[in-house]
């Protein structure tokens, strides 16, 4: 034992009160590097030892805020408004990290509420992973897990039914004789000197063997993964979903008259419970025959405003002035406040929303018949609001 470095001196106590008083006495004596081991948590031990609050919560907060910043920054970069000269090319990023803003309904390009799920997930992910990594590598100092107290009689007793106190030899006030006498005075029993474990001499052969094993495992796992995803999954019976009697889009079918697997519907076919639009390609007739069945109530205007902002404002603008948010990415439509538009009746507006006009596609598949009429009511309200008369203000 004399050739090994002394790590600490330990003492055992029989009751919770005795270990609590011992911890307070060691703290008041000025010792800083000491620890208490008990078979179960003791309330008030932190104060008795004079422990400072752990920095672990601040570590979690740091990584959580880092994840939040990464989520907001990355989504702002990819989907936000144009930033002039800032792009993936100017930043030296690969082509697949180029900015790609998406215009979706009435949402702005940088839509913070839409980004909340990703922000939440990345915040939690980095907070959890960062906390665990710091807990293992910094706070617990792993992989150095060979503590001198392990496998000692002291640790065996404190893991069962006794309470222990350990004063480390690295403490500035440590003196072997004084510490032993001090622990005896506190009522400590089974005082034991704990020595550092001898350092293992690792030979180059062992190191090379360990590296070889790791290399074999890495190569084997990579080879197995490559074999599964490039060969095995393309062999029977794993191909049962790919090889089956079916016709893929655009595939050839020799026994069909057209030779193609995709056939147009039979002329005149109507889906069940569906009434086809009676004025297809007839905008003038639609204007003559159709009338708005919904009065301009506050409920209709509120619903029409919501639907207009989602589907129409992207190109037409929120005021229907033709100043949409596409910023030159698509031709701007004419203003709906022109004399031509004001002279249209509701049926003509309904027809354009249904079938489209010029470069505008129809919205029959996206907006129900009832909702199309509500949008027409809101367009009328916009036209009247931007060209109000004195009688409208009375």
CATH code of the domain containing 302: 1.10.760.10
Last residue of a domain, one of 200, 224, 254: 200
Residue 374 has pLDDT above 90, yes or no: yes
CA distance readout (Å), 8 to 63, 175, 196, 309, 344:
36, 10, 9, 73, 94
pLDDT digits (tens, 9 = 90+) for 6-57: 889 999 999 999 999 999 999 999 899 999 999 999 999 988 998 888 888 9
**Cα 138 → chain centroid:** 26
What confidence score (pLDDT) does residue 133 get? 92
User: Is 300 a domain residue?
Assistant: yes
Mean pLDDT of 44-71: 92
Specify whether 163 is located in the same domain as 213.
Answer: no
What confidence score (pLDDT) does residue 200 get? 67
Q: How far apart are CA 341 and CA 332, in angstroms?
A: 16
Mean pLDDT of 221-246: 88
Mean pLDDT of 223-239: 91
Specify whether 288 is located in the same domain as 209.
Answer: no
- Cα–Cα nearest to 75, from 108, 48, 45, 47: 108
Last residue of a domain, one of 264, 292, 312: 264
pLDDT digits (tens, 9 = 90+) for 195-219: 887 776 777 888 888 899 999 999 9
Residue 252 has pLDDT above 90, yes or no: no
Domain that holds residue 383: 283-388
Specify whether 144 is located in the same domain as 48.
Answer: yes
What confidence score (pLDDT) does residue 144 get? 67
Specify whether 108 is located in the same domain as 191.
Answer: yes
What confidence score (pLDDT) does residue 64 get? 96
Q: Are 316 and 322 in contact (CB under 8 A)?
A: yes
Mean pLDDT of 319-333: 81
Specify whether 56 is located in the same domain as 91.
Answer: yes
**Cα 35 → chain centroid:** 40
Domain count, the chain: 3
Specify whether 176 is located in the same domain as 67.
Answer: yes
Last residue of a domain, one of 166, 200, 234: 200
Specify whether 290 is located in the same domain as 260.
Answer: no
User: Is 84 a domain residue?
Assistant: yes
What confidence score (pLDDT) does residue 4 get? 77
């Amino acid at each position: 034992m004399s050739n090994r470095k002394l790590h600490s001196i330990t003492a055992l106590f029989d009751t919770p009160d005795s270990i609590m008083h011992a911890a307070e006495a060691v703290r008041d004596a000025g010792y800083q590097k000491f620890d208490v081991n008990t078979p179960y948590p003791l309330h008030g031990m932190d104060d008795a030892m004079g422990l400072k609050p752990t920095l672990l919560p601040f570590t979690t907060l740091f990584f959580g805020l880092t994840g939040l910043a990464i989520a907001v920054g990355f989504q702002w970069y990819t989907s936000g408004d144009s930033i002039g000269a800032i792009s993936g090319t100017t930043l030296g990023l690969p082509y697949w990290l180029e900015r790609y803003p998406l215009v979706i309904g009435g949402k702005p390009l940088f839509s913070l509420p839409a980004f909340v799920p990703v922000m939440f997930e990345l915040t939690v992910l980095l907070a959890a992973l960062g906390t665990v990594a710091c807990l293992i590598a910094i706070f617990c100092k792993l992989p150095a897990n060979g503590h001198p107290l392990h496998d000692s009689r002291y640790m065996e007793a404190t893991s069962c039914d006794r309470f222990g106190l350990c004063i480390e030899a690295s403490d500035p006030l440590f003196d072997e004789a004084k510490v032993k006498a001090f622990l005896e005075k506190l009522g400590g029993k089974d005082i034991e000197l704990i020595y550092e474990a001898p350092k293992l001499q690792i030979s180059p052969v062992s190191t090379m063997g360990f590296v070889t094993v790791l290399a074999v495992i890495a190569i084997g796992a990579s080879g197995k993964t490559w074999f599964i995803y490039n060969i095995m999954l393309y062999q029977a019976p794993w191909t049962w979903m790919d090889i089956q009697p079916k016709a893929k889009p655009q595939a050839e079918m020799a026994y069909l008259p057209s030779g193609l697997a995709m056939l147009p519907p039979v002329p005149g076919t109507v889906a069940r419970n569906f009434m086809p639009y009676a004025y297809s390609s007839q905008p003038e007739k639609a204007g003559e025959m159709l009338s708005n069945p919904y009065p301009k109530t506050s409920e209709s205007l509120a619903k029409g405003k919501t639907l207009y902002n989602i589907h129409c404002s992207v190109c037409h603008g929120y005021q229907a002035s033709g100043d949409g948010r596409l910023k030159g990415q698509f031709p701007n439509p004419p203003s709906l406040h022109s004399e031509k538009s004001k002279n249209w009746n509701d049926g003509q507006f309904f027809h354009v929303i249904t079938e489209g006009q010029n470069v505008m596609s129809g919205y029959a598949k996206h907006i129900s018949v009832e909702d199309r009429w509500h949008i027409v009511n809101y367009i009328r309200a916009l036209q009247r609001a931007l060209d109000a008369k004195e009688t409208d203000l009375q």
